[in-house]
Structure 1
Amino acid sequence: MGLDQSQEEYLKGRGAQVNPNNKFFSNQYVQEHVEGLDEPFLGAESTKIIATYPKVILSRVDSPDIGFYQSLNPYQGCEHGCIYCYARNSHEYWGYSAGLDFERKILVKYNAVELLEKEFERKSYRPEVIFMSGNTDCYQPIERKLGITRGLLSTLLTYRHPVSLISKNVLMLRDLDMLSALAEMGLVSVSVTINSLREEVRRKMEPRTATAMSRLKLIEQLAERNIPVSLMIAPIVPGINSDEMPALIKSAADAGAKWASYTIVRLNGAIGDIFRDWVHKNYPDRAAKVLHGIESCHGGKVNDSEWGRRIRGDGEIANGIRQLFKSAVKKYMDKEDYPILRTDLFERPNRSPQMRLF
């Protein structure tokens, strides 16, 4: 539906249209006198890259409903601007807002490759699948210039270490050489996220991402090179894209995806208010219906931290989505098990053959 604002007021190319106060701060910036500003209060900033040098690069994951145990995030914040992104809340720990700051203040871990090599060289390190990325997209726009993700893939290949990637950016095609080499040894799997085939929905919900058609071509090229690839439908938003699941699964299967999974949207922390503002501006005719649909999947609230339910939801709407998913997968996808990546090939190439024995 049309925007409930003028084009001048709506920030094109951004998901969030507000920059809520960081809950850890006692003070906040507010606009009280518009006539005193030389430029728009929220729209003044372009994307800013902030250098960071953390001490560790791997994060342990103890959530029982996630399916992986360690993740690697070369970037914090994400210029894709997906309105629903659960990672928005983590930006507050860095001293920024979960709203516009999340999209335009990108923290870069410039020493990520060095830290990963250091981790692999620890005598106590035992290989297990690394998930890239558990928080923000490792192929977001700045990766084209910096190439940190490519450097990490090179390290993983050198050490023959398993990795699972998830992205919605076709920049991944740049690294088909490394992904193919990893796949030949059973060391990689890829999930490509698509939650709508309608370009109008993508532009509003994920303003700086690749089109769905481009992502389907990404799946096709990965499959052609025997790189295990699946479809992630994330998130399902009742009343916006919940009717698209069969078409999404069929399109991905036709492109070569062998597996599929999905999540139902949940709006924890600051995301609740950011999403409410967005849905009223973009879908004013059905905003209340959408929000009520989300609430019905999460025990009457838009936020949800209960293991299992937070991912799949519960209730009539969630059960309908679950059945739709199962029937579409059964109809369109091959009955193959998700690949188990190898951990037995791990080696430290800088050590002599004699030292490797120990």
Structure 2
Amino acid sequence: MLGTATDAYQPVERRLGITRRIVEVLAETGHPFSVVTKSAGIERELDLIAPMAAQGLVSVYLSVTTLDNELARILEPRAAAPARRLRAIRALAEAGVPVGVSVSPIIPFINEPELERIVEAAVAAGASSAFSIPLRLPWEVNPLFQDWLQRHFPDRAERVMARLRDMRGGQDNDARFGTRMTGEGVWAELLRARLHRVARKHGLRTERRPVELALFQRPSKPSAQGSLF
């Protein structure tokens, strides 16, 4: 899985090509993988991932958090614009790559009202699956987010934090395995119900797409580390 801790397509990737080299190794060995990204840079890898997709070895998820360009500029100022991400979904789908949309993170009263519209825009672009994760505020992310919230949305900051705490057992964050990615309580259930409703309407998957596990082959030229085995 690429892109779960941080995006595998940072701007410097255009120069360094580290992710590109990782995908080359995965393609050479028939190693299945999935990737989550906010970047249209994934299109660069179409020559590698399209043939892999034909073998059931890859799935891609584009994170689309808003369709509002003004909100996108303050929420994710260094990421691809919403329309550019939707074009990436279309390019991947047209190349035969299974592509889904991640409406994550969901922030109550900020991008949460757009949930259905984002999914529908992704469907129009070719997405075949969808999932979402309520905003998490671990460690240093919490004060950074609350500062951002007060600067950009002071009129609703208290409501946003109250709703987040409703989904996190009364705390700013809940790190427990099993609930940290989904939240709990009435509001978390409502978000899940909304996502599943729009997904059913458009025939989308809401579970992770399975990948082919039987095609892996050891590298033809093992690395020094690999030769230890």
Equivalent residue for 1:216?
86
From 122, 143, 151, the equivalent of 1:273 is: 143
CA RMSD of aligned residues (A): 1.5
From 34, 38, 45, the equivalent of 1:168 is: 38
Q: Is the 8 A contact 1:258 1:336 kept in 2?
A: no
Q: Is the 8 A contact 1:249 1:332 kept in 2?
A: no
Q: Could you tell me how far 1:267 is from its partner in structure 2?
A: 0.7
The separation in 2 between residues aligned to 1:239 and 1:133, in whole angstroms, is: 26
Alpha-carbon displacement from aligned partner over 1:3-40 (angstroms, at most 9, x marks no partner): xxxxxxxxxxxxxxxxxxxxxxxxxxxxxxxxxxxxxx
Q: Is the 8 A contact 2:32 2:57 kept in 1?
A: yes
Q: Is the 8 A contact 2:130 2:206 kept in 1?
A: no
**Unmatched runs of 5 consecutive residues or more in structure 2:** 222-229
Q: Could you tell me how far 1:171 is from its partner in structure 2?
A: 1.0
Alpha-carbon displacement from aligned partner over 1:33-68 (angstroms, at most 9, x marks no partner): xxxxxxxxxxxxxxxxxxxxxxxxxxxxxxxxxxxx
Equivalent residue for 2:227?
none
1:152-231 matched pairs, under 5 angstroms = 152-231=22-101
How many residues were matched structurally?
221
The separation in 1 between residues aligned to 2:206 and 2:15, in whole angstroms, is: 37
Equivalent residue for 2:5?
135
Alpha-carbon displacement from aligned partner over 1:105-126 (angstroms, at most 9, x marks no partner): xxxxxxxxxxxxxxxxxxxxxx
Q: Is the 8 A contact 1:197 1:248 kept in 2?
A: yes
Q: Which amino acid in structure 2 is aligned with residue 134 of structure 1?
A: T
Equivalent residue for 2:185?
315
Q: Is the 8 A contact 1:260 1:329 kept in 2?
A: yes
Q: Is the 8 A contact 2:101 2:122 kept in 1?
A: yes
Q: Which structure dedicates a bigger proportion of its chain to helix? A: 2
Does residue 325 of the first structure (1) align with residue 195 of the second (2)? Answer: yes
The separation in 2 between residues aligned to 1:335 and 1:275, in whole angstroms, is: 31
Does residue 350 of the first structure (1) align with residue 217 of the second (2)? Answer: no
Percent of pairs with identical residues: 35
Q: Is the 8 A contact 2:63 2:102 kept in 1?
A: yes
Alpha-carbon displacement from aligned partner over 1:86-142 (angstroms, at most 9, x marks no partner): xxxxxxxxxxxxxxxxxxxxxxxxxxxxxxxxxxxxxxxxxxxxx002211111100
Q: TM-score, normalised by structure 2?
A: 0.92
Q: Could you tell me how far 1:308 is from its partner in structure 2?
A: 2.6
Equivalent residue for 1:260?
130
The separation in 1 between residues aligned to 2:179 and 2:206, in whole angstroms, is: 26
Name the SS of the counterpart of 2:137 in structure 1: coil
Name the SS of the counterpart of 2:162 in structure 1: helix
The separation in 2 between residues aligned to 1:321 and 1:336, in whole angstroms, is: 13
Name the SS of the counterpart of 1:296 in structure 2: helix
Distance change in 2, residues 1:280/1:256 (3 Å): same
Equivalent residue for 2:152?
282
1:37-56 matched pairs, under 5 angstroms = none
Q: Could you tell me how far 1:185 is from its partner in structure 2?
A: 1.7
Equivalent residue for 1:291?
161
The separation in 2 between residues aligned to 1:158 and 1:336, in whole angstroms, is: 29
Q: Could you tell me how far 1:348 is from its partner in structure 2?
A: 2.3
Q: Could you tell me how far 1:332 is from its partner in structure 2?
A: 2.1
Q: Which amino acid in structure 1 is aligned with residue 48 of structure 2?
A: M
Bigger Rg over Cα: 1
Alpha-carbon displacement from aligned partner over 1:306-337 (angstroms, at most 9, x marks no partner): 22321121222222212111111111234697
Alpha-carbon displacement from aligned partner over 1:133-188 (angstroms, at most 9, x marks no partner): 22111111000011111111111111111111110100111111011121122111
From 219, 232, 238, the equivalent of 2:108 is: 238
Q: Is the 8 A contact 1:297 1:314 kept in 2?
A: yes
Name the SS of the counterpart of 1:329 in structure 2: helix
